[in-house]
Amino acid sequence: MTKTFMFNALREAIDEEMSRDNRVFILGEDVGHYGGSYKVTKDLHAKYGDLRVLDTPIAENSFTGMAIGSAITGLRPIVEGMNMSFLLLAFNQISNNAGMLHYTSGGNFSIPMVIRGPGGVGRQLGAEHSQRLEAYFQAIPGLKIVACSTPYNAKGLLKSAIRDNNPVVFFEHVLLYNLQEELPDQEYLLPLDQAEVVRSGRDVTILTYSRMRHHVLQAVDILVNDGYDPEIIDLISLKPLDIQTISKSIAKTHKVIVVEECMRTAGIGSEIVAQINEQRFDELDGPVVRLSSQDIPTPYNGMLEKATIVHPHHIVQSIKRMF
């Protein structure tokens, strides 16, 4: 076991897959000589050269389209968005090409590509750099969506995403890159479509993902001391949702709270609530509770920014109200 930062766990995943398969390459702004804004591609340019670690112009629509074209021809591109918000400029390519071409070609083309990068509410990055795009992309048919939350699952999930024959949108949270964890020295892969039961419990099911996993863990420490027994599920797969793991938990607890950094209106939580109500309504003791970010552009002001997202004390208060 070796202790490492999350940004380095992601770098290891890319390095191992590029070494294993010469069809894998990465492209994006400053991924080459500079090593990436968050150092996820540090030293890869020196190892693999200009043709496999491509520094691109500031033109997200162009280089994302180029990556999709290369995937059609049999390569396996990794697109890094310096900030996931910038990939709104490539929304047409991601939706009309990456998501659809396998289907509109009658299965003749596959799009084995990963679109990854930092997102979420950081620390005073401003509204344009604090987007939560998971709900934007969730509506696009043909995409898989994954949100990592620890160094361990970041590495295992990214390796699986690179090997997958579908387009995978891979969300990393900007405030988790310096998270440290011990990783196995041997190779491992993690499934892209399975949630993780972080803590088993019998009182209430807490559904969360990405950075909010860590806010939930802080809240649960308080709740356990107060006599509650919550179950924590890290969704990991945002599309498709692992409704089987969610349903199994609801059958035990009969109470559900969703904790997300996404917007409340039409966010990930909205889809979770819809699926639970459709499939497990009779097993609920009460309505599903949603704790989501405020429906406003994220303020630059630090105190106002903090007020827009969910914190551990909000989770504690909400669960106690449920009882």
Residues labelled catalytic: 60, 129
**291 forms bridges with which residues in the sheet?**
259
Encoded tokens for 101: 């071409």
Which secondary-structure segment (H or E) carries 116? strand 114-119
Q: Which amino acid does the sequence have at 158?
A: L
The rounded distance, in Å, linking the Cα atoms of 4 and 99 is 34
What is the DSSP secondary-structure string of 1-46? -EEEEHHHHHHHHHHHHHHH-TTEEEEETT-STT--TTSTTTTHHH
Which secondary-structure segment (H or E) carries 232? strand 230-234
How many helices, marked H, and strands, marked E, lie in the chain?
Answer: 12, 14
Encoded tokens for 259: 């904790």
Q: HSE on the CB side for 156, CA within 13 Å?
A: 19
Cβ–Cβ < 8 Å for 117, 80: yes
Residue 197 phi/psi, 5-degree rounding, is -80, 100
Kind of pairing, strands 2-5 and 180-183? antiparallel
